[in-house]
Structure 1
Amino acid sequence: MSQSTPETTKKQSYTAEEIQAWLVSHIAEQLGVESKDIDVSQPLDSYGLESAQAMFLVSKAEKLFGFELSPILLWHYPTIETLSQRLAEESKASQSEIFEI
């Protein structure tokens, strides 16, 4: 059976701002802090985000965006700002099943 995706069933794309808001909300929730306390230009590891929490976040993002994310994504794009920009690019271009860096 063919896995081609007709234009009418194309996945929704998200802007960097929408992705950034989603990431801030979910990271704040995981860390037990207020969203306003998250600085999108600071490295995620400065908040003490552990590997298990990062993988949980990646898993939730995969469900939202509808494509697979590389497990090392957070290390290549270490801030919410850079990560959201990269995910927005991939969201717009998402034709494949696997996110490549």
Structure 2
Amino acid sequence: MTAVTAVTAQQAEEWLIEKIAHRLGVPTGEVSREVYFDELDLDSTEALILAGEMENWLGFELSTTTLWYHPTIKDLASYIAEESAQRAAAA
């Protein structure tokens, strides 16, 4: 059995910023951790692809309402860190 390592909020933020910057074609420094996802000019297809990549990276599924309840990179990263820590502790 492999050990499950929790993802930190900082790791999640960095991952999200890198992926979003790549999708938008901008430098990572131009992606704010406090801007709302719906202000980032990602269309629904890009958002679904990003969510799928995130789930693959994390190793667990996110609910369809996750982005609704955690609408910024900062909020989502904190949620991911909590969820990841709980899953690592339970493994």
Same fold (TM over 0.5): yes
The CA distance in 2 between the partners of 1:76 and 1:30, in whole Å, is 22
The letter for the 1-side match of 2:8 is: T
Alignment match, 2:7: 14
1:78 aligns with 2:86: no
- Cα shift readout 1:8-66 (whole Å, capped 9, x = no counterpart): 52322111001000000000101111100001011011111111111111101111111
- Where in structure 2 are there 5+ consecutive unaligned residues? none
* Map of 1:49 onto structure 2: 42
Supply the RMSD in Å over aligned alpha carbons: 1.5
* Offset, 1:71: 2.2
Structure 2: distance between partners of 1:50 and 1:74: 14
**Which one scores higher on RCO, CA 8 angstroms, separation ≥ 6?**
2
**Which of these residues, 46, 57, 60, is aligned with residue 53 of structure 2?**
60
Identity %: 35
TM-score normalised per structure 1: 0.81
Report what 1:4 is aligned to.
none
Kindly name which structure, 1 or 2, has the bigger radius of gyration based on alpha carbons.
Answer: 1
- Give the total of aligned pairs: 89
Normalised to the residue count of structure 2, the TM-score between the two structures is 0.89
* Structure 1 unmatched ranges of 5 or more: 1-7, 97-101
Task: Output the CA distance in 1 between the equivalents of 2:7 and 2:73.
Answer: 15
